[in-house]
Amino acid sequence: MIRAVVFDLDGTLIDSAPDIWHAANQVLEGEGLPLVTFEQSRSFIGRGARVFVERMELAVTGANDPVRTAHLHARFLHFYERAHENTRIYPHVTETLEQLRGQGMRLGLCTNKPLRPTEAVLKHLGWNKLFEAVIGGDSLAVAKPDPAPLLAVLGGLGMSMQDIAYIGDSETDAETAERAGARFGLYTEGYRKAAPEALFQHFRFNDYRSLPDHLSRLS
């Protein structure tokens, strides 16, 4: 029986791509480097801030230099922690989360977004007390798709893998769930690149109002 639901954040509960793009171009402009398009920036999302910066750096300079990457990463985190003015919650997310809590479900968050920007956006959205366990992309030595972050959220909730469903939007989330042996629901309106049917999943959905029914069928 499903007793808890663990969510990814960017591309799953919120659309933060516009703010991430803005933060990226603030960094690049400050360094005198070419700017990236929104489509480029969106395609870099998914494996955490460090990989985002590496992809951004490669796109605008043609190479990754470790010293420059570290500098760009530090600058990006500076802006990223403040980048939430244009972030929006996907439709029907808030009421669905409240519905799940009303049904006795416990909620966790497992994201590759670094912890400080995660905490900042949760506070901005009024969600800072919504999730009982939160693991960011830099909370551990490894990030998704390694299953360790998801396992850490389970530990924080005091749950086993059989107790939870994991909800995400991307190839990274699908791989995380498959490697962890988790039941996985794919939200199809996020930052996925592959066709939805190509990814590991137990169900997929494009409207949060249908999520409770999907979870009940899993149970």
Enumerate the active-site residues: 8
Q: Taking a C-beta distance cutoff of 8 angstroms, is the pair 132, 108 a contact?
A: yes
Tell me the two tokens of residue 178.
Answer: 């498959």
Query: What is the C-alpha end-to-end distance of the chain, expressed in Å?
Result: 4
Tell me the two tokens of residue 27.
Answer: 């960094």
Using CB atoms within 10 Å of the CB of residue 122, give its burial: 0 to 12 exposed, 13 to 18 middle, 19+ buried. Answer: buried
Instruction: Write out 10-46 in H/E/C secondary structure.
Output: ECCCEECHHHHHHHHHHHHHHCCCCCCCHHHHHHHCC
The secondary structure of the chain in percent helix, strand, coil, rounded to multiples of 5, reads 50, 15, 35
Q: Is the dihedral of CA 57, 59, 61, 66 positive or negative?
A: positive
